[in-house]
Structure 1
């Protein structure tokens, strides 16, 4: 590990954790970064799921749940994280470099998966901050484009530099080997910034009220529970407020056991 941590003993696998190697690191700005790591041959997950990730603590592994940003078919596993200066894990995780070791949980899980949704025509993925991560996994999965006519990714951040993966999304995943042709036709990217000038500003709720969210889409210029499916990931306030709105519009929350019209990641909101 870098910055004085190189003397740490190598990590040891446990019954719940494998030890993986950091492959690449990308710093988007001073408080946002992403990284890829090796993927064990036995590691299986559905696009949109999360897994435990961590480093060695004083007495035991220091772990936190992270949504996987890479699609289920990828050879590497990708994550998006904030940098918290005094965070027990992220204060150290932000210092990782290629070649460093990281703990990876053996059992991914989650509800931000297409299995938890009923069939529909439009899939809206509403995110704030690092809540974009599971949606980066899903929009790079060919199955998503077979299930929905249109896939809409909405990413609300404070500053323009917080728009991680902006170039990839603006190009509609033009460089992606598996989904570029489908994404060119079906993927819609709606970035919005709340604290700096940008071509789209305001919170997600304001985009719904103004109709900006639905510009260029087929179908209704509002959310329709008969045809629309919605995924929410990001701040607690956004998820709470938008879940209430969706339910008032006739949407029913789904789960792996009982698919519905919208889903949130229960593990992250309690």
Structure 2
């Protein structure tokens, strides 16, 4: 379903916004430009970007809609587009009874949406010390910030190899699979670097696929390192890691890394690996 154009919607100027929103001191009001439904519980969408909006690739921002009480209903979402993009893209799950996602999954091009004015986050290169290999471990919609980072030219200047690992339950959950398998062919800024430096490792846990198992299993059995330069293990002397996914994944891999001598970093104190602790619902 990754290339199902029938699932995608683009902005129709004749479509009227469902609700008229008002900006606040902390929120701008943006327009939905396009929506793509990957499957029955996963979708992505693009919105307009304010001229004054600045962010570092990998950061997250508060977005939302008007709640039943008439006030903004907001959640933290990682930005999936690179910092240079003219539009802002997000990747979201669909939760039938989720306070926000139950409404958000129904948005159409032309609708309005709240966008926070202050992006933040730890999944940024500023929070890591220099290294040779950058591993981006994501599960589900935790892929989003890494879609931003792998299209940032600075990342390829900082690291010799960039490895993006996406763990999902079903093959149909591998959002953006075509773009990643092509190593970002056609990207206006990083096409040449990605072709040489980017490795995409999709893995599926509940269906047959060429790579199966959770990320920690791929690390332990060595499958992760096939085709990569360097040691067939995680090495704090050369490797840097970003984690974004389920709490269980973050906890398990963080514990594994710390057991190997990796130190968690932050914006104030860069180190060997970082975790994003913001969630949507």
Shorter-chain TM range is over 0.9
Alignment of 1:91 onto 2:141: no
Query: After TM superposition, which residue ranges in structure 1, 4 or more long, deviate above 2 angstroms?
Result: 6-9, 266-269
1:55-74 correspondence to structure 2 within 5 Å: 55-59=65-69, 60-74=71-85
Q: Please state how far the C-alpha of 1:266 moved relative to its aligned partner.
A: 3.1
1-structure distance, mates of 2:58, 2:267: 12
1-structure distance, mates of 2:157, 2:194: 11
Deviations 1:11-33 (A, max 9, x none): 00000000000001011000000
1:77-226 correspondence to structure 2 within 5 Å: 77-226=88-237
Contact kept in structure 1, 2:19 and 2:111, CA below 8 Å: no
Alignment of 1:39 onto 2:39: no
Secondary structure of 1:230's partner?
strand
2-structure distance, mates of 1:266, 1:33: 21
Cross-structure match for 2:26: 16
Q: Please state how far the C-alpha of 1:103 moved relative to its aligned partner.
A: 0.1
2-structure distance, mates of 1:172, 1:185: 9
Gaps of at least 5 residues in structure 2 are 1-15
2-structure distance, mates of 1:154, 1:235: 14
RMSD of aligned alpha carbons: 1.2
1-structure distance, mates of 2:225, 2:165: 11
Secondary structure of 1:266's partner?
coil
Equivalenced residues, count: 264
1-structure distance, mates of 2:68, 2:261: 49
2-structure distance, mates of 1:67, 1:93: 15
Q: Please state how far the C-alpha of 1:268 moved relative to its aligned partner.
A: 4.0
1-structure distance, mates of 2:269, 2:18: 45
Secondary structure of 2:52's partner?
coil
Contact kept in structure 1, 2:18 and 2:111, CA below 8 Å: no
Alignment of 1:230 onto 2:279: no
1-structure distance, mates of 2:187, 2:96: 34
Distance change >3 Å, CA 224–CA 95, structure 1 → 2: same
2-structure distance, mates of 1:266, 1:153: 19
2-structure distance, mates of 1:108, 1:209: 35
Secondary structure of 2:38's partner?
strand
Secondary structure of 2:28's partner?
strand
Q: Please state how far the C-alpha of 1:89 moved relative to its aligned partner.
A: 0.5
2-structure distance, mates of 1:42, 1:7: 23
Q: Please state how far the C-alpha of 1:104 moved relative to its aligned partner.
A: 0.1
Gaps of at least 5 residues in structure 1 are 1-5
Q: Please state how far the C-alpha of 1:209 moved relative to its aligned partner.
A: 1.3
Distance change >3 Å, CA 230–CA 24, structure 1 → 2: same
